[in-house]
Amino acid sequence: MANGYPSIIDGNIEAALVVFQPLTESSKLNEEIEANKQKIQNLALRVDQMATSPHSFDDILGSHPDFVFVRNKARRAAETNSPILITGESGTGKGLFAQAIHNGSLRSHKPFVITDCAQIPESLLEMELLGYDKNKNSKVSDRKLGKLECANGGTLFLDEVGLLNKQMQEKLLQILLERRFQPINGNQIIDLDVRIISATNRNLKEMVEKGLFSAELYHLLNGTEIHIPPLRMHKEDVLTYAQSIIYKISRKLGKQVIGMTTQAEQLLLDYHWPGNIRELKSVIEIAMDSVEGEMLSVCNFAGLVERVNKAEEIHYREPMALDELEKRMIRLALERYGNSVEGKKRAAGVLNISLATLYNKLKTYENNA
């Protein structure tokens, strides 16, 4: 390989200096340049991972006793170093809990790395976790860091862990048991010091019984289980969440919205929220686009009104035995007002029966199940 350098006198090129460089030396230099580029990218990735967990337990709102119990359990679990399995329906805030647990732990100053098993194709998941070395046969390493190495010293959050295939389950089990791994095409063995927080909306215990999920991996991940109840089970918190979302969106959009009318609040309380807090946020975001004054009203929730009406229509569409109708009405009332003592009191009042009668009917349904 040759590089030329012109000699210019009075604006004219009078001569040229040609420097011949061995091809192998030039190739080696290019390899080193590429390796340094990869190191810079890896460093930038680590910095990004350090900034992906801004939430703490102060951001987890809710005053329902059942929800407070779960939040306190998570706060205590954060102080340990054991793996944590967060379960619950989609949209309940499993990722928020995971971030809060990390930030409440002794690893809070280390990376919090998210791996969404639902978003990464199966064929790429192993490479994403382990990383890989592009130059296997070169003396100069050109390694892309995987999620495990980025999380070393900190926390790896495996979201939707129930979607891992059997091969990846066994690979992950081996890594966690040995506490070391080898990047794909790499020659180096890397010691692993990472806390695993997993989350799933699936019943992993049932999957284990059916042979769909590794029993060993399940027990390894389930050091402490945190089950987040669906929003319909703590409806008393709906308005608290709604007000917080309104405040944040209002600031972001530069609006002066301060709350909702009484009718709008009742609309939110009447809905059963199958999509949980994620659906609530989406509904309010849409409502905020159309609001003009300081208060959100029912007319801003046109889509939600349609959902509520459709849900009620399904409940009443087909004729049925009176005892079955009674059972459905009780279930609908409890979905609206929650299973707490206060929720059952409100449900009994709406159904025009005593609280004792409600408890007796619930006990009968349980015995006949």
Could you tell me the pLDDT band of residue 314, with boundaries at 50, 70 and 90? Answer: very low
313 and 330 housed in the same domain: no
More confident site: 148 or 2 = 148
pLDDT of residue 338: 77
Separation between Cα atoms, residue 100 and residue 223, nearest integer Å: 17
pLDDT, tens digit, for every residue of 241-276? 999 999 999 999 999 999 999 999 999 998 889 999
328 and 210 housed in the same domain: no
Residue 214 makes CB contacts below 8 A (sequence gap 6+) with 166, 169, 170, 173, 208
Q: Is the dihedral of CA 130, 135, 137, 141 positive or negative?
A: negative
241 and 357 housed in the same domain: no
198 and 283 housed in the same domain: no
In a domain, 188, yes or no: yes
pLDDT, tens digit, for every residue of 128-160? 999 988 766 555 456 789 999 999 999 999 999
In a domain, 52, yes or no: yes
pLDDT of residue 362: 87
196 and 283 housed in the same domain: no
258 and 217 housed in the same domain: no
| CATH number for the domain harbouring residue 362 | 1.10.10
More confident site: 318 or 264 = 264
In a domain, 162, yes or no: yes
79 and 142 housed in the same domain: yes
**Residues 119, 231, 233: CA angle, nearest 5 degrees:** 135
pLDDT of residue 306: 76
Ranked by mean pLDDT, the top range of 69-83, 245-259, 336-350 is: 69-83
pLDDT of residue 240: 96
Which range of residues forms the domain containing residue 306? 232-317
Could you tell me the pLDDT band of residue 340, with boundaries at 50, 70 and 90? Answer: confident
pLDDT of residue 178: 96
307 and 326 housed in the same domain: no
Could you tell me the pLDDT band of residue 187, with boundaries at 50, 70 and 90? Answer: confident
In a domain, 256, yes or no: yes
Domain boundary among 208, 227, 246: 227
In a domain, 310, yes or no: yes
Could you tell me the pLDDT band of residue 281, with boundaries at 50, 70 and 90? Answer: very high
105 and 193 housed in the same domain: yes
Report CA dihedral (188, 193, 155, 199) to the nearest 10 degrees: 90
Split into its structural domains, the chain has a count of 4
Could you tell me the pLDDT band of residue 98, with boundaries at 50, 70 and 90? Answer: very high
pLDDT of residue 366: 79
pLDDT of residue 44: 47
pLDDT of residue 238: 96
| CATH number for the domain harbouring residue 157 | 3.40.50.300
Separation between Cα atoms, residue 159 and residue 115, nearest integer Å: 6
Give the amino acid at 241.
Y
In a domain, 39, yes or no: no
Query: How many CA atoms within 13 Å lie on the side-chain side of 74?
Result: 29
Separation between Cα atoms, residue 247 and residue 259, nearest integer Å: 8
pLDDT, tens digit, for every residue of 3-47? 555 656 666 666 555 555 565 655 655 555 555 544 445 444 444
Mean pLDDT of the 272-281 span: 93
pLDDT of residue 6: 60
- Residue tagged 């070391």 (tokens): 180
Which of 60-69, 133-142, 172-181 shows the lowest mean pLDDT across its residues? 133-142
118 and 206 housed in the same domain: yes
81 and 173 housed in the same domain: yes
Report the relative pairing of strands 195-200 and 84-87 from DSSP bridges: parallel
306 and 338 housed in the same domain: no
Token pair listed for 311: 């849900």
| CATH number for the domain harbouring residue 261 | 1.10.8.60
In a domain, 325, yes or no: yes
